[in-house]
Amino acid sequence: MREITTNDNERRLLELFTAYFRTYENPLYYFALKTVQSELLARDIIQEVFIKLWSIREQFGNIHNMEDYLYRMVRNKVMDVLRQLANDQRLRADYFEGHTWEESPIYDTISAKEYEIALAEAISKLPPQRRLIYQLSQVEGRSRNEIARELDISPSTVKNQLTAALNFLRKVVAGQIKFF
């Protein structure tokens, strides 16, 4: 058995990084562009995100969902840029001078993706039994009575747990995507 060398590891990380870049560069660019409405700012954001990604390449194995991770990085960087614009009067004047806002056909796709990411993140934060009840009801479409029988709990407990789960998810998701 051949021992993995540092060069092999670096080569593997470079191949992974290249695959991530090729797969996500354009979707992330359009995601940023929709919000900042500036091709130059969107390109800068994407460049900074991928530079940051390369700097943490040793941690690729710890990132369970790279797509979600990258969208979150871009969203955070977009917010940083917009905060900087809000706080710097000269930058704000340069940015808004003669700027025309456009509607993008990908806006709905971006909004849906952002919603999916926020929802998945929120579902993962539910307590185990509440998450199970939510998934049985909302994902699998089972009735309260079916869930109650399967889990050996009362239908009113299912109703209470489902209500609590939906309230929590609405609150968390709305708080995470209100920016978009």
Write out pLDDT tens, residues 121-174: 778 888 888 888 988 888 788 899 999 998 899 999 999 998 998 888 888 776
Query: Same structural domain for residues 77 and 115?
Result: no
- Per-residue pLDDT, 106: 45
Cα end-to-end span (Å), the chain? 51
Q: What is the CA radius of gyration of the chain?
A: 21
Domain boundary among 68, 103, 138: 103
Domain boundary among 60, 88, 103: 103
Query: Same structural domain for residues 1 and 87?
Result: yes
CATH of the domain at 117: 1.10.10.10
Query: Same structural domain for residues 73 and 132?
Result: no
Number of domains in the chain: 2
Q: pTM higher than 0.75, yes or no?
A: no
Q: Are 42 and 36 within 8 A, CB to CB?
A: yes
Taking only the tens place, the pLDDT of each residue in 88-128 is 665 555 655 555 545 554 445 555 666 667 777 778 888 88
What separation in angstroms does the CA of 118 have from each of 3, 18, 61, 172? 41, 26, 22, 8
